[in-house]
């Protein structure tokens, strides 16, 4: 195209990224950084070529049907695209891209932070020091947690992030088990011994920790169901840095309250704005560790995510195939990267 692409960016991005976008594109950023409604998005897209979206934008079939004809690209700032109806975009001839890979390592680090935080009582240890007079000083039997080494970790979804978690967990002496849509031979792709399970029910019965690393699709909604939570070993726990929809949150709370599960370490919640009070109570009781959807929240990752958005937009506007196109998975509606 002869003119600079006009883009709408729905959330504030790191300064360096906004500055670079402003030099390359006619850029309109939602400076308020509050969630835009569908009407806001449609209004803001008047005369635009590209929508730069984030996980907090609900881009469903209805919104896609209302897109101005000029908008041919939705460039998501993020890896997961479950906020976008990929099939509807595909049917409407609108290209969708995402920002995989650049956040893999940082997200995997956060999974390890959470995996260690619970058995090693990280949050409790800090609270003890900051709450006046609670700490009685060192003693041989105080603050005993549990050893991670030697435990069995069950990874659900051995994609980029799952593989990066497996590599780290291996170094911590965990035995790696995984369930995946496609069997990946980790011995070939990575120097990693891991046990593949084709039956998720059987895997959750066998492991001490279940960590979720699959995208949220129709197939993976509540993949860690009430039934599977019941099947998990007594005293085992759950880690989730992926999407809240992957587990039945109410059933998870039940399982922890009843003492069946030792706890959970969660970065994502069903209701982002009003976290389940029972979950908060479990956090008070140090049965769960909660973080604020920050697994990819490093400045470095966010800058690289922004750079990836820019690469996708430039390729698309130059008439090339953008490198990180997301296509619908014809058979099941699950999105996948090319
Ligand atoms: C971001 C994420 O918080 O990429 C993802 O899928 O969940 C995180 O990196 C978010 O998506 C930014 O839009």
pLDDT at position 333 is: 39
**What lines the ligand 1 site, CB under 6 Å?**
54-55, 77-80, 103, 293, 296
From ligand 1's centre to the CA of 144, what distance in Å? 35
User: What is the pLDDT tens value at each position of the chain, 338 positions in all?
Assistant: 458 999 999 999 999 999 999 999 999 999 999 999 999 999 999 999 999 999 999 999 999 999 999 999 999 999 999 999 999 999 999 999 999 999 999 999 999 999 999 999 999 999 988 887 888 899 999 999 999 999 999 999 999 999 999 999 999 999 999 999 777 656 556 557 899 999 999 999 999 999 999 999 999 999 999 999 999 999 999 999 999 999 999 999 999 999 999 999 999 999 877 899 999 999 999 999 999 999 999 999 999 999 999 999 999 999 999 999 999 985 333 455 54
User: Which tokens is 84 given?
Assistant: 């976008």
User: Which tokens is 327 given?
Assistant: 């296509």
Rg (CA), the chain: 21
Contact 27, 50 (CB under 8 A): no
From ligand 1's centre to the CA of 307, what distance in Å? 15
pLDDT at position 189 is: 60
Could you give the CA distance from residue 51 to residue 40 in angstroms, rounded to a whole number? 12
Could you give the CA distance from residue 197 to residue 273 in angstroms, rounded to a whole number? 36
- ipTM, two decimals: 0.93
Residue to mutate (ligand 1; options 33, 75, 81, 103; most atoms within 8 A of CB): 103
pLDDT at position 192 is: 77
* CATH 3.40.50.720 boundaries in the chain: 6-102+298-337, 104-290
For ligand 1, atom 6, the nearest C-alpha belongs to 80
From ligand 1's centre to the CA of 79, what distance in Å? 6
The residue length of the chain stands at: 338
| H-run or E-run covering 15 | helix 15-24
Could you give the CA distance from residue 305 to residue 288 in angstroms, rounded to a whole number? 30
- Fold held by 6-102+298-337: Rossmann fold (3.40.50)
pLDDT at position 132 is: 78
Single out the residue of 183, 136, 139, 138 nearest to residue 159, CA to CA.
183
Place of tokens 């470095």: 300
- Fold held by 104-290: Rossmann fold (3.40.50)
Please give the number of the atom of ligand 1 that sits closest to the Cα of 243.
7
């Amino acid at each position: 195209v002869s003119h600079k692409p006009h883009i709408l960016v729905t959330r504030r991005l790191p300064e360096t990224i906004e500055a670079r976008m402003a030099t390359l594109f006619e850029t309109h950023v939602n400076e308020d950084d509050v969630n835009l409604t569908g009407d806001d998005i449609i209004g803001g897209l008047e005369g635009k070529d590209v929508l730069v979206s984030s996980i907090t934008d609900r881009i469903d079939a209805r919104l896609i049907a209302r897109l101005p004809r000029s908008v041919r690209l939705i460039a998501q700032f993020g890896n997961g695209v479950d906020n976008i109806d990929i099939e509807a975009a595909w049917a409407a001839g609108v290209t969708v891209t995402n920002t995989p890979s650049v956040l893999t390592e940082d997200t995997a680090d956060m999974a390890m932070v959470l995996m260690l935080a619970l058995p090693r009582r990280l949050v409790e240890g800090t609270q003890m020091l900051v709450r006046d007079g609670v700490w009685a000083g060192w003693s041989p039997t105080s603050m005993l947690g549990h050893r991670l080494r030697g435990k069995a970790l069950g990874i659900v979804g051995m994609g980029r992030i799952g593989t990066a978690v497996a590599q780290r967990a291996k170094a911590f002496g965990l035995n790696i088990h995984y369930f995946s849509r496609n069997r990946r031979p980790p011995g070939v792709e990575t120097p990693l011994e891991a046990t593949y399970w084709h039956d998720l029910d059987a895997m959750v019965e066998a492991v001490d920790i279940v960590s979720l690393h699959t995208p949220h699709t129709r197939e993976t909604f509540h993949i860690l169901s009430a039934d599977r939570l019941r099947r998990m070993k007594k005293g085992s726990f759950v880690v989730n840095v992926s999407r809240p929809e992957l587990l039945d949150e109410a059933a998870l709370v039940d399982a922890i309250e009843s003492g069946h599960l030792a706890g959970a370490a969660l970065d994502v919640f069903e209701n982002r704005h009003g976290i389940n009070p029972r979950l908060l109570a479990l956090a008070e009781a140090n049965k769960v560790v909660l973080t604020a959807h920050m697994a990819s929240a490093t400045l470095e990752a966010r800058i690289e995510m922004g750079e990836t958005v820019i690469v996708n937009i430039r390729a698309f506007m130059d008439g090339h195939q953008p490198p990180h196109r997301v296509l619908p998975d014809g058979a099941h509606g699950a999105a996948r990267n090319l």
